[in-house]
Amino acid sequence: DKGNHRHFMEKEIYEQPEIISHALGHYVDFASHTVKPTDKAIDFSKLSGLAISACGTAYLAGLVGKYWFERYARLPVEIDVASEFRYRELPLSPTQAALFISQSGETADTLASLRYSKDQGLKIGAIVNVRESTIARESDAIFPILAGPEIGVASTKAFTCQLAVLASLSIAAGRARGTVSEAEEKAMVKHLAEMPRIMSKVLNDIQPQIETLSRDLSRFKDVLYLGRGTSYPLAMEGALKLKEISYIHAEGYAAGELKHGPIALIDEHMPVIVIAPYDRFFEKTVSNMQEVAARGGKIIFITDEKGAAASKLETMATITLPNVDEIIAPMIFSLPIQLLAYHTAVFMGTDVDQPRNLAKSVTVE
């Protein structure tokens, strides 16, 4: 049932605040602002590192998770798309644990990567939506994302719920390893607890602007997304979402890679979507943005209030989100990229919920 929404994708975008609040409740205590104990099968305090593998959007969630586990839990993370991970002959050690992220829990390459890691003696954790799935069944610890059924082929709420679970787990791992203090835990969980309310407000506030902007975006053939830090995986997720449902060619790049190649493509025919909250990477990303502007590139700037005030560059559009803590920024900044892809596809008249050539669950390699 789509309720009063035109597509399941739209419904799933708008139900994120409520669903993510429910999902978070499984991992954090909203009253004491602490993380709840995680599944004992994986003891984060003793690990030498993590291996993470997944496909598509789930892989990009894992890539954000890598930044968090490394920063907060000081755990080195080896991550790859499952179709490479399974064949790389990657040396793994039983002192590491492996996490597999999958909405469906049935993705063939992810399952094969899981079995490979299990054979190497690693404890296996599954971050899944479908708890009765094969990936969940073959894992030692299940970390449910509790997103409810996701019908739209393009993943939206599963992505932000995967992020919420990864954020919570990285705080829990940091506590277990003594790299996150009690005060830091409290502060971060507080931000997570405030996130659903902020998401609702953002969804409401940005909708009209994004709809107008999508009409302009639908006229282009190619789009480049740039980001740094956790905004880099988001840039790739933005590009993936746009190409999947609007069939506009899009690429996501690390902002710092711009000058190593893609800058050759910049002209007035290729808008550049820059994802840059006012964080420790902001100045660097803005200087990449200047390089785009100097070459006549059209910029769509997705930033926050501080970022909008700090940048003097002329843009095709600036989408201004509230200033939020960096632990929740990836979830908040997911919203404009989802809505932008959605409305662009609606303008193009594509089959948003069932894009051509794609399947919701990929059980063949």
Least CB distance to ligand F6R at residue 113 (A): 11
Q: Which of 13, 50, 55, 172 binds ligand F6R (CB under 6 A)?
A: 55
Least CB distance to ligand F6R at residue 160 (A): 12
CA 22 to CA 30: how far, in whole Å? 11
Residue 311, interface with ligand F6R (CB under 6 A)? no
Residue 154, interface with ligand F6R (CB under 6 A)? yes
Binding mask 322-361 for ligand F6R (x = CB under 6 A): ---------------------------------------x
Any bridge partners for residue 250, and if so which? 223
Contact indicator for 266, 226 with CB cutoff of 8 Å: no
> DSSP for 230-242?
THHHHHHHHHHHH
Q: Which stretch binds ligand F6R (CB under 6 A): 17-25, 49-57, 181-189, 217-225?
A: 49-57
Provide the annotated active-site residues. 360
Least CB distance to ligand F6R at residue 138 (A): 14
CA 133 to CA 102: how far, in whole Å? 10
Would you give the end-to-end CA distance of the chain in angstroms?
31
Residue 107, interface with ligand F6R (CB under 6 A)? yes
Q: Phi/psi of residue 168, each to 5°?
A: -65, -45
Least CB distance to ligand F6R at residue 145 (A): 10
Least CB distance to ligand F6R at residue 67 (A): 19
Question: Could you tell me the CA-to-CA distances from 168 to 26, 171, 328 in Å, in that order?
Answer: 10, 5, 11
Residue 56, interface with ligand F6R (CB under 6 A)? yes
**Interaction residues for ligand F6R, span 87-106 (CB under 6 A):** 102-104
Residue 244, interface with ligand F6R (CB under 6 A)? yes
Q: Which stretch binds ligand F6R (CB under 6 A): 56-64, 68-76, 221-229, 304-312?
A: 56-64
Long-range contact list for 78-82, CB < 8 A, 24+ apart? 78/49, 78/50, 78/51, 78/52, 79/51, 79/52, 79/53, 80/53, 81/53, 81/54, 81/55, 81/109, 82/53, 82/54, 82/55, 82/107, 82/109, 82/110, 82/112, 82/113
- The helix (H) or strand (E) run that includes residue 54 is strand 49-54
Least CB distance to ligand F6R at residue 109 (A): 9
Beta carbon nearer to ligand F6R, 90 or 362 = 362
Residue 214, interface with ligand F6R (CB under 6 A)? no
- Position closest to ligand F6R via CB: 56
Could you give the dihedral angle defined by the CA atoms of residues 307, 310, 316 and 319, in that order, rounded to the nearest 10 degrees? Answer: 20
Q: Which of 38, 117, 155, 214 binds ligand F6R (CB under 6 A)?
A: 155
Q: Which two tokens stand for residue 15?
A: 């139900």
Residues in the site for ligand F6R, rule: CB under 6 A? 55-58, 102-104, 107, 110, 154-155, 240, 244, 361-362
